[in-house]
A and B are shown apart, each in its own frame.
Chain A
Amino acid sequence: MQLTGSQFTETTGIVGNDLATLPDYPAEIRAPAGSLAGVSSYQIQFGREDIQTPGDQPDVLVVMNPAALKVNLPELRPNGIIIANKATFNKRNLQLAGWDTNPLEDESLGEYTLVSIDMTMLAEKALEDLGLSSKVMARSTNMFALGLLYWLYDRPMDSTFNFIETKFKSRPEIVEANKRALQAGYNYGRTTRLISTSYTVAKATLPSGTYRNIMGNHAIALGLVAAGHKSGLRLVYAGYPITPASDILHMVSNYKNFGVITFQAEDEIAAVTSAIGAAFAGALAVTGTSGPGMALKSEAIGLAVSAELPLVLINVQRAGPSTGMPTKTEQADLFQAFYGRNSETPTVVLAAATPVDCFTMAYEACRIAIQHMVPVILLSDSYLGNGSEPWLLPGMEDLPPITNSQITSVNGEFQPFEITDPATMARSWAIPGTPELEHRIGGLEKDAVTGNVSYDAENHERMVHRRQKKVDVVADHIPLAATFGDEKGDLLVLGWGSTHGAIRSAVERVRGEGHAVSHLHLRHLNPFPKNLGDVLVRFRRVLVPELNLGQLGRMIRSEFLIDTILFNKVKGKPFLASEIEAKIFEVLKETKDA
């Protein structure tokens, strides 16, 4: 199902629509077929207008079995279209999904346009002379459905034909089966006109340039490779397999011809510590994981803070404490990124706002880490990592330069922990192999200049402040906060991370009705942009929607003494724009009444 969805997405990008996607799948690799827990779905919103989210309520729902209908029907808009593969609506599957009677036959779906087709039989018919097993034929049913949708939305099939030919190159019979099934679905739609309308969706009016679709995890991989390329440093990416971050490791591994080293470590701790070793040796060192992995890495992050080494840590957040819901989304690791270590151990914290922004912020994380000799945590999440959208491709010349403090010699005696640049507060990065600069670093407290182990009271206090200041000065090197909408008004909706699309759509709708509501989305969370306090006080109220119990909202309260309104959702799912819109109206009404 994920493959079918990504093919539709690919083609939709090619025909020039704007789009946003939401893949949703169980953690189990082969979850029990037909069960509610095993439903894998793929949602896409596309159109000629600026698309910010995968949509609140789909217009069309394609279901390949009764469980899929059961799980997704509540999302479908009233009067929406249901396209169902009726072959799978047998007694066993209906029972598994908890239907007492067959909904395709009992008129319970009366308010929808129901298109019930025996896709299994039709696909098999198209393949009958190929001598394939029924198992293989059954697998091509998804292609039949995809063909039907290509007809419904008037999309070309060449891209998917090419994909099939490449993917199954070594198995010509599978190529033929999938191509035939796809064509059969398309022809079936065209011939039978079972659905009375087919749609033509005009091209979106996007800024000019070259586009491709990109998923957040892939965008992060490209951002890291770009930073390695631009900085002239070797990229070393160390990771341990974890959902939903593993794709970054897979994707970076494909770019070995850039001199990139990827290392699948024995555990999360080895992933971060090997990255720290690589940073000591002069590389652009990165490790990626999800929340539980971050928990395991926390002691080592402290080492990188103490040793003042550049390190990029990526947390593709997932839902819940402990193992939680690995394939579902949440943004509840913000406190962990800020505070999840022993002692005073500040790090820079960034967050990507959209799948495309994952590229920009991965690059930004590398720039800050290298320039300031500090660890940087970049927060993404499952929704961004697996979601995709069209990307106006940047030129390499548009990316900011990445400077570093590597040295090959010094005048006089080398002082490893002396701050050599007050603007960045970076110490010199003297890498092993450089003559005359031999020195020792470590996790014991060290003298602020020589780097020798020091238990001196005054020195320790000075170093604690210095490590905080190293994070604080980053504020001089990042953009100021800029609101979408007006610079002042009744309400500011303040967000961070993957809630960007839902907040932006909601704010656009509300502003369309003439309300003084603006949107500010933070991508730099530690430090905050220097003008954040000034921006916040220009609004009567500040609403902070988050997929947690109010982490940014509380930070804003403590930092700026502003009585933020927390708006929280923790269902493992992104916000719907309509949920935020309703909350905005509620707040506006309260503000007015007050």
Chain B
Amino acid sequence: MPRSEEATVTQALTRKDFTSDQTVRWCPGCGDYSILAQVQKTFPELGRKKEEFVFVSGIGCSSRFPYYMNTYGFHTIHGRAPAVATGIKIANPDLSVWVVTGDGDGLSIGGNHLIHLLRRNLDINILLFNNRIYGLTKGQYSPTSEFGKVTKSTPLGSIDWPFNPPSLALGAAATFIARSVDVEGQHLQDIIKAAYHHHGTSFLEIYQNCIIFNDNAFADVTEKDTKVEHQLLLEHGQPMLFGKDKSKGIGMDGHHPVVIDLTDGKHSIDEILLHDKTDRMTALMLSEMTYRPEFPVPLGIFYEIEINTYEDLIHEQIERAVEKMGPGDMEAILHAGHTWKVK
């Protein structure tokens, strides 16, 4: 379709077009409402026909998401959304496929599928709602819950160490790793767009507040009076600055990143690292700031590189096979090898 025509099609779409007729049933005040709103606001701007979107989810609060999007959707079984999405994408690479999952669904029961989707690099967008708790089963600790967390299933405190989602994604050879926050509407919209435009698997961790079972888990980065000191908003090519009036930044002390105070008269902005989203070591450093109170919380695109997607390679192999052997001839393969005639 010519670009101009495509634009005409998409101009007609609004947030309403992406809103299904089903009543949204998350708890009042749940962070999921905001995420749904940002997705529905962003999608009309993506320049894509509505019927080409497919939402796939597993089980959990976040996994109800497809019911509320007026697109194609598949609410599957616990943990398996990445694998179902893989099947959809390889069967029809023209679709824009979105996986909605949570820290339990995506990192615990479905951890295997998640890492394998990342390493294969299909052009699928993963929205991982991380609230550091099991919500739908009413409040057990999750694989991102902090060590020592007291929950119904851990009355004496959890003795599991949590996963660090961006580091896990990096270890699984992800080609796009980002983080945003449910209540940061504009930031989340920008990152959703960037994830959509990334040609390959996009891993977007969204800090999401569970008001019932784990309220204020991310208060540092969401509360008005603390967030400025705790949000490190990443921009490619820009210095890693944060704090009131951008008065602090990330620099290096030998091999180690450190927080530099630019107001102490001893440091200059030249010592602040520039963010390079194509650099794996930078991504690793930013990922490892997770759970470290001495550092701010990086938000934005940690890492992005472009390599071939799995589905492109699959269909290239098919094209090459057709070039080499000609289009499939059923009679020929039935009669392949040694045959003999009986009269």
Residues on A lying within 8 angstroms of B by beta carbon are 10, 13-14, 16, 159, 203, 206-213, 222, 225-226, 229, 234, 236, 238, 255-261, 263, 265-267, 269-270, 273-283, 285, 299-300, 302-303, 307, 392-396, 431-444, 452-453
Contacts and interface: CB of A to CB of B under 8 A. Distances in A.
B210 interface: no
Contacts of B294: none
A433 B83 contact: no
Q: Is chain A's interface secondary structure helix, strand, loop, or mixed overall?
A: mixed
B335 interface: yes
Nearest to B22: A452
B66 A257 contact: no
Interface in B283-307: none
B83 A277 contact: yes
Contact of A256 (B20, B22, B112, B317): B317
A276 B326 CA distance: 29
Nearest to A435: B51
Contacts, number: 210
Interface stretch (B37-45, B70-78, B241-249, B269-277): B70-78
A395 B330 CA distance: 9
B184 interface: no
Given A257-B324, A277-B74, A270 B86 contact: yes
Given A276-B87, A281-B95, A222 B333 contact: yes
B255 interface: no
Interface in B125-151: none
9 contacts: A206-B342, A210-B340, A212-B339, A263-B86, A273-B87, A277-B87, A438-B71, A440-B69, A453-B22
B330 A432 contact: no
Q: Which of B55, B71, B338 has the most CB of A within 10 A?
A: B338
Given A257-B327, A442-B76, 20 more contacts: A13-B338, A159-B338, A209-B342, A212-B337, A212-B339, A222-B334, A255-B333, A258-B330, A261-B90, A263-B86, A277-B84, A277-B86, A282-B91, A396-B330, A432-B54, A432-B88, A435-B49, A438-B71, A440-B69, A441-B75
B340 A238 contact: no
A210 B340 CA distance: 6
B76 A236 contact: no
Contacts of B314: 261
Contacts of A257: 318, 321-322, 324-328
B68 to A, nearest CB: 9
Q: Kindly state the interface size class of chain B when it binds its partner.
A: 35 or more
A258 B77 contact: no
Interface of B: 20, 22, 49-52, 54-56, 66-67, 69-77, 80, 83-92, 94-95, 112-113, 116, 314, 317-318, 321-322, 324-328, 330-331, 333-343
Contact of B86 (A274, A395, A442): A274
B76 A437 contact: no
A10 B339 CA distance: 9
Contact of B342 (A211, A225, A440, A453): A211
A209 to B, nearest CB: 6
Given A206-B342, A207-B342, A208-B342, A440 B77 contact: no
B67 A276 contact: no
Given A266-B112, A273-B87, A274-B84, A13 B334 contact: no
Nearest to B25: A453
Nearest to A214: B337
A278 B74 contact: no
A276 B325 CA distance: 29
A5 B20 CA distance: 62
Contacts of B113: 266, 269-270, 273
A250 to B, nearest CB: 14
A432 B80 contact: no
Contacts of A212: 334-340
B72 A438 contact: yes
A54 B13 CA distance: 67
B342 A270 contact: no
A392 B341 CA distance: 9
A433 B84 contact: no
Contacts of B51: 432-438
A222 B324 CA distance: 20
Contacts of B71: 438
Nearest to A277: B87
A212 B338 CA distance: 6
A207 B343 CA distance: 8
Q: Which of B66, B76, B116 has the most CB of A within 10 A?
A: B76
B80 A269 contact: yes
Contacts of B67: 440, 442, 453
Contacts of A453: 22, 67
Contact of B66 (A207, A275, A440): A440
Contacts of A300: 77, 80
Contacts of B335: 210, 212, 393
A209 B341 contact: yes
B20 to A, nearest CB: 7
A275 B342 contact: no
A238 B83 CA distance: 11
Q: Which of B51, B84, B317 has the most CB of A within 10 A?
A: B84
